[in-house]
Amino acid sequence: MADPMLQVRRLVKQFPVEGTRDVVHAVTEVDLDIRRGETVGLVGESGCGKTTMGRLVLRLIESTSGNVLFDGQDLSTLSGSALRRVRSKMQIIFQNPFASLNPRMSVDEILMRPMRIHLRINGSERSQRVAELLEKVGLRPEHRSRYPHEFSGGQRQRIAIARALAVEPQFLVLDEPTSALDVSVQAQILNLLKRLQREMGLTYLFISHDLSAVRHMSDRIAVMYLGKVVELADAETLFEAPKHPYTRALMSAIPVTNPRLRRERVRLTGDIPSPIRLPSGCAFRTRCPWAEKRCAEQVPTLKDEGGQVSEHLVSCHLVAAGEEPRV
């Protein structure tokens, strides 16, 4: 198997709490590989660290510890022109296109600016590339003279996608790219992203709380809880046979459209613990209906479920021992 494009190793991010010695444990010792050309989905409740994770892998914010390697280069060791060269290969599409686009810049200026910084091409080539990008994302050439407020939400997100593609990237972080859009427009944007991935050989980290969108887009899915990845598997396996109790609860909450089908709901009790004071042992144990004494004493590691050699990784003492509870 070829080396992954992106390798995350024991990545940690802690935010200090002003006026105290406490810290918010946003991301805790995460390991993740993303292969060239695939889409890895990242799901979990709000506040679990998904967006922080996405920004850490691009080095938009600095990590507390750990490493992010892109094509074998450790991003934490790069600076200046070396970091700028790597940045052109890694781009992000933000959640809210209205907030992420400069309202004082026309579409032409929005798409031209990253080219001036990263690409060694002249003005006429940049102008031609703007026209090509607009066509690629489903907009017309005359749109280049307009401003963000003159577009609908879906059109603004298409502009944001064009801006990300302007510097010919290889890897994109998609940070909830459809959550601010109408349902009918969401499908258009997701299909556009899949088409662009096929045509341009792109690699995605797709961050979302929308499980149906994640299933549609992803080859593999990582589930986060309180800053840790608790389960990682290919998309179909995760949806058809989830192992971790938290993943089971997420999947059981998906609405069933067929009234003749019934799904037994895994109901979680209690509140999400504070990321400032994490529980001992397994962070999920305070809400887990099957928690045992050892769950409070030992921190589970992410490993092959049931001790089998596979690509289905689970962070749970019960699953690791082959004692997974029946739902």
**Torsion sign over Cα 98, 100, 101, 104:** positive
Provide φ and ψ at 106, rounded to 5°.
Answer: -75, 170
Note the pLDDT tens digit of each residue in 116-166.
Answer: 999 888 989 999 999 999 999 999 989 999 999 999 999 999 999 999 999
Residue 200 Cα to chain centre, angstroms: 20
Task: Please give the mean pLDDT across all residues of the chain.
Answer: 91
What is the layout of strands, in order, in the sheet containing 23-34? 23-34, 6-16, 65-70, 73-74
**Tokens 């003005």 sit on residue:** 123
The tens digit of pLDDT for each residue in 78-116 reads 998 899 999 999 999 999 888 999 999 999 999 999 999
- For the chain, the structural domain boundaries read 6-222, 224-320
Output the CA–CA distances (angstroms, integers) from residue 204 to 26, 33, 74, 275, in the order listed.
Answer: 22, 12, 19, 27
Give me the CATH topology for the region 6-222: Rossmann fold (3.40.50)
Query: Positive or negative, the Cα torsion across 151, 161, 224, 38?
Result: positive
Centre a 10 Å sphere on the Cβ of residue 77 and count the other Cβ atoms it contains: 10
CA distance 240 to 238: 6
Please state, in angstroms and as integers, the Cα–Cα distance from residue 21 to each residue in 17, 64, 135, 226, 244, following that order: 7, 15, 52, 20, 33
Per-residue confidence band for 25, with pLDDT thresholds at 50, 70 and 90: very high
Put simply, whether the predicted model's pTM sits higher than 0.75 gets the answer: yes
